[in-house]
Amino acid sequence: MKAVILAGGHGTRISEETRFKPKPMIEIGNKPILWHIMKIYSTYGINDFVICCGFKGDVIKEYFKKLTEPWKVNPVETGLETMTGGRLKKVKKYLDDETFCFTYGDTLNNVNIKNLIEFHKSKKTLATVTACHPTEKYGILKLQGDMVVEFKEKPSREGEWVNGGYFVLEPSVFDYLKDDSTVWEKEVMEKLSHNSQLSAFRHAGFYQHMDTLSEKNYLEKLWQSNKALWKVWE
């Protein structure tokens, strides 16, 4: 099975880093976050990757020319301004008309990919999304009068579920993709859900995207303190 990874956005909210490289190439523990994502998939036997490049895609292409991991990596130019669904549409010809994995180049979690794929096959829908609990962006204060009586740093909103990436898709999802302006998270996921073709694999474990410098620093802190729960490989 192949995995498609979106890696073409501008990463404007973490411009401190993306002046020099695309967001998926920002390093956690001296390795690009893209490498971490691919290591997760590789742990479950998925070693064939299609990378949707765009902004500063040459940095990604150069990196994989030198990489020694036992992976097949195909970095594909998908345009500077193409939307997420449009990028996926542009790599259709590389996917052999088979079930495939699909995710973002800036999100880490410790979902069991094998179980995710088995769940997807059992549901017989066109798409399965990994549903994760979001965390609060800021710490939560519980107040009594002028006193803080409880503080929780980035607590999980356990009653809510969000799109955690890490999809499994059938080739027929390409029927939902129109052109470069197609946004996967809007019209595609909305139509799939409306047609009862989008299953949710609940994942209550670790989940964290990297959209800002503070989130990058948080992931780096976890890595350096040996608390990187997404490290499912040895």
78-131 tens-digit pLDDT: 999 999 999 999 999 999 899 999 999 999 999 999 999 999 999 999 999 999
* Range scoring the smallest mean pLDDT among 29-38, 75-84, 92-101, 137-146: 137-146
Q: What pLDDT is stored for residue 139 in this prediction?
A: 67
Q: Which residue has the higher pLDDT, 41 or 147?
A: 41
Contact call for residues 70 and 24 (beta carbons, < 8 A): no
Q: What pLDDT is stored for residue 163 in this prediction?
A: 92
Q: What is d(CA 159, CA 156) in angstroms, rounded to the nearest whole number?
A: 9
Instruction: Give 149's pLDDT tier (boundaries 50, 70, 90).
Output: confident
Q: What is d(CA 78, CA 74) in angstroms, rounded to the nearest whole number?
A: 12
pLDDT over threshold 70, residue 157: no
Q: What pLDDT is stored for residue 227 in this prediction?
A: 96
Instruction: Give 138's pLDDT tier (boundaries 50, 70, 90).
Output: low
Q: 2-132+160-224 domain in CATH 3.90.550.10?
A: yes
pTM score: 0.90
What confidence tens digit (pLDDT) does each residue in 158-173 have? 677 889 999 999 999 9
DSSP string, 74-137: EEEE--SS--HHHHHHHTGGGSTTS-EEEEETTEEE---HHHHHHHHHHHT-SEEEEEE--B-S
Residue 6 structure tokens: 């979106």
Kindly state the average pLDDT of the residues 203-232.
95
Residue 185 neighbours by CB distance under 10 Å:
13
Sign of the torsion angle spanned by Cα atoms 22, 84, 162, 172: negative
Residue 211 structure tokens: 């959209």
Q: What is d(CA 166, CA 158) in angstroms, rounded to the nearest whole number?
A: 19
Give the residue among 119, 122, 125, 116 at the shortest CA–CA distance from 173.
125
Q: What is d(CA 169, CA 224) in angstroms, rounded to the nearest whole number?
A: 34
Dihedral over alpha carbons 168, 173, 178, 182 (to 10 degrees): -30
Long-range contacts of range 155-161, CB-CB < 8 Å, 24 or more positions apart?
A: 157/133, 158/133, 158/204, 160/133, 160/134, 161/131, 161/132, 161/133, 161/200, 161/202
Q: What pLDDT is stored for residue 125 in this prediction?
A: 95
pLDDT over threshold 70, residue 154: no
Based on the number of CB atoms within 10 Å of its own CB, is 75 exposed (0-12), middle (13-18) or buried (19 or more)?
buried
Q: What pLDDT is stored for residue 160 in this prediction?
A: 79
